């Protein structure tokens, strides 16, 4: 009897523990949310889940997101695993402030800086030759999210040259210097690194934020600008040694602060262009107008001096909008910025010279204009964009900003890529039962030329071309994935290179030459 009583008591105790765990939001968060959003809710591959970062998500909608997921993101639904009271507890938890607000300011940024090669900082770029015999302009950097590495891939031989460890949750959009000699890496948890494409070694790193969006490099190779989700800031670094130059708090004229959606370089304008997540503005920040900043000393000691001048440098121009911008891209002349908000159901066109919106683009669904590509078609130029919500590719006349063609695919697409020497544009089906399909579109007939299935049942995405456009490389987005190379004209497979979830591939030449077929 005593054994039975003890057993019953133990069972009741375990039941109580399970029930307590089920209603404990911290335990629920650690189990279901922390892998993407960080144990302390400060963000990782997903955004920080704090009240100051959730201004555009009403509490009543947050429960629906937890239960059913969020369209056009990697956020899954947990409604099949969580009870209603569990979801309500999680909503209360993420909308509650931290006991102590996280800080990452000037002192933290400066203290985090790591220099791995003083010799590399001291040497001039033309004094060093590559340590390999491949074409340095036809290299790819392949970001492998499966185990947080980058593979340096020879685009001619399709052979890896080197593989190295990176920070966790590296953002895919790597940025090269103007010659392709250096590349700047940016992780979601705020680390920015400078890597030498000749010596294939990391030079320096610095942590600029807690939850970071992306980075951009000025066309004159002097500055790196980084946009943060947390804190709400832009950080400017000296591109040579990653030392801190300036921190710009991100807020509108009334003081309302905002996360940064994206920052890119508009090379012909000598400026950075910044989209804001929570404020209906686009910012243009000039880097060619920096005055009073003096570079002195030998190469390895160069630094920006004169604090007063630094505080007044990088003049800011605010362009008001009627809606938010979550992503955007430029036309080839960098005269127009074309972007969209995730819930807007349309695109918007802003002329940077006049600083105003000039057109709306009537696109149903959720256009991913940040992944758009352009090409010449008949007597005009067109823009093609996949849709994050519906199986549609929209083709837009860039003279009239009207949709001239809609192509149906079997699911939402995320990445679209082409090359000026290729007759085709490629787009994936990134989510759903047909995520293994890749559509190849004829750029002159505006029709689907082929539907490829690189590996049945496994996600394919993110095409990138070799510098001459002769080969197209496709990622199999799986832990035991691969990069598959195709002949870009015959569409026949050439080679498979095993990779650990290769989420993106970035060709040096196409990036630095601002190819019309890839993101800039």
Place of tokens 């066309």: 219
Place of tokens 């009207």: 402
Q: What is the CATH number of the domain that holds 48?
A: 1.10.760.10
- Domain-ending residue, one of 67, 94, 121: 94
| 72-129 tens-digit pLDDT | 567 888 988 888 888 888 888 888 888 777 789 999 999 999 999 877 776 666 667 8
Give the per-residue pLDDT at 255.
94
- Domain-ending residue, one of 94, 119, 152: 94
Cα–Cα distance for residue pair 466/505, rounded to 1 Å: 10
Which ranges constitute the DSSP H helices of 219-319? Answer: 307-312
- Show the beta-strand stretches assigned E in 287-379: 316-320, 327-330, 336-340, 347-351, 356-361, 373-377
Residues of the chain with pLDDT under 70: 1-22, 44, 52-53, 55-56, 71-73, 122-127, 172, 289-312, 342-345
| 446-482 tens-digit pLDDT | 999 999 999 999 999 999 999 999 999 999 999 999 9
In a domain, 451, yes or no: yes
Instruction: Give Cβ neighbours of residue 436 (< 8 Å, ≥ 6 apart).
Output: 429, 453, 454, 455, 456, 457, 458, 459, 460
CA gyration radius for the chain? 24
In a domain, 470, yes or no: yes
What secondary structure letter does DSSP report for 328? E
Which of 296, 305, 343, 337 lies closest to 323, judged by CA?
343
In a domain, 348, yes or no: no
Three-state DSSP class for 299?
helix
Give the per-residue pLDDT at 160.
98
Give the per-residue pLDDT at 126.
63
Model pTM score: 0.84
Give the per-residue pLDDT at 12.
41
Give the per-residue pLDDT at 288.
84
Give the per-residue pLDDT at 15.
40
In a domain, 390, yes or no: no
In a domain, 487, yes or no: yes
Place of tokens 């809710």: 41
CB 466 within 8 Å of CB 483: no
Task: Please count the other Cβ atoms lying within 10 Å of the Cβ belonging to residue 437.
Answer: 23
Q: Identify the domain containing residue 67 by its residue range.
A: 16-94
- Domain-ending residue, one of 94, 118, 142: 94
Give the per-residue pLDDT at 245.
97
Cα–Cα distance for residue pair 192/17, rounded to 1 Å: 43
Helix or strand run (H / E) with residue 92: helix 84-94
In a domain, 133, yes or no: no
How many independent structural domains does the chain possess? 2
In a domain, 264, yes or no: no
Angle between helices 2-23 and 84-94 (to 10 degrees): 50
In a domain, 472, yes or no: yes
Q: How is residue 252 written in tokens? A: 């509108």
């Amino acid at each position: 009897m005593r054994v039975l009583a003890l057993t019953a008591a133990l069972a009741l105790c375990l039941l109580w523990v399970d029930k307590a765990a089920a209603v404990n939001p911290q335990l629920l968060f650690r189990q279901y949310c922390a892998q993407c959003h960080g144990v302390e809710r400060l963000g990782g591959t997903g955004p920080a889940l704090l009240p100051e970062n959730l201004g555009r998500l009403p509490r009543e909608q947050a429960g629906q997101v937890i239960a059913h997921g969020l369209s056009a993101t990697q956020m899954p639904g947990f409604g099949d695993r969580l009870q209603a009271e569990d979801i309500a507890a999680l909503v209360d938890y993420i909308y509650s402030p931290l006991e102590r607000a996280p800080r990452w300011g000037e002192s933290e940024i400066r203290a985090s800086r790591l220099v791995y090669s003083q010799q590399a900082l001291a040497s001039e770029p033309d004094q060093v030759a590559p340590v390999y015999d491949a074409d340095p302009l036809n290299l790819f950097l392949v970001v492998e999210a499966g185990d947080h590495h980058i593979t340096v891939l020879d685009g001619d031989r399709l052979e890896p040259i080197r593989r190295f460890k990176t920070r966790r949750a590296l953002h895919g959009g790597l940025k090269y210097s103007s010659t392709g000699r250096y590349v700047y890496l940016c992780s979601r948890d705020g680390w920015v690194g400078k890597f030498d494409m000749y010596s294939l070694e990391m030079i320096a790193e610095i942590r600029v934020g807690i939850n970071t969006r992306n980075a951009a490099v000025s066309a004159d190779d002097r500055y790196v600008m980084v946009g943060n989700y947390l804190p709400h800031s832009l950080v400017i670094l000296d591109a040579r040694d990653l030392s801190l130059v300036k921190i710009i708090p991100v807020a509108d004229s009334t003081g309302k602060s905002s996360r940064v959606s994206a920052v890119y370089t508009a090379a012909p304008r000598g400026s950075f262009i910044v989209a804001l997540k929570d404020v209906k503005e686009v910012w243009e920040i000039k880097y060619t107008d920096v005055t009073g900043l003096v570079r002195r000393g030998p190469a390895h000691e160069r630094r920006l001096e004169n604090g007063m001048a630094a505080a007044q440098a990088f003049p800011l121009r605010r362009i008001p909008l009627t809606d938010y911008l979550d992503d955007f891209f430029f036309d080839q002349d960098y005269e127009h910025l074309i972007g969209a908000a995730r819930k807007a159901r349309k695109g918007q066109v802003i002329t940077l010279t006049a600083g105003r919106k000039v057109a709306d683009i009537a696109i149903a669904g959720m256009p991913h204009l940040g992944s758009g590509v352009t090409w010449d078609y008949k007597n005009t130029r067109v823009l093609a964009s996949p849709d994050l919500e519906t199986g549609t590719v929209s083709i837009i006349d860039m003279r009239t900003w009207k949709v001239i063609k809609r192509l149906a695919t079997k699911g939402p697409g995320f990445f679209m890529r082409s090359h000026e020497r290729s007759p085709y544009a490629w787009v994936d089906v990134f989510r759903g039962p047909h995520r293994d399909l890749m559509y190849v579109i004829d750029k002159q007939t505006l029709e689907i030329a082929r539907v490829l299935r690189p590996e049945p049942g496994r996600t394919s995405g993110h095409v990138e071309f070799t510098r001459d456009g002769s080969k197209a490389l496709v990622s199999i987005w799986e832990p035991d994935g691969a990069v598959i190379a195709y002949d870009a004209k015959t569409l026949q497979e050439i080679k498979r290179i095993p990779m650990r979830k290769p989420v993106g591939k970035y060709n040096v030449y196409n990036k630095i030459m601002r190819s019309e077929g890839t993101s800039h």
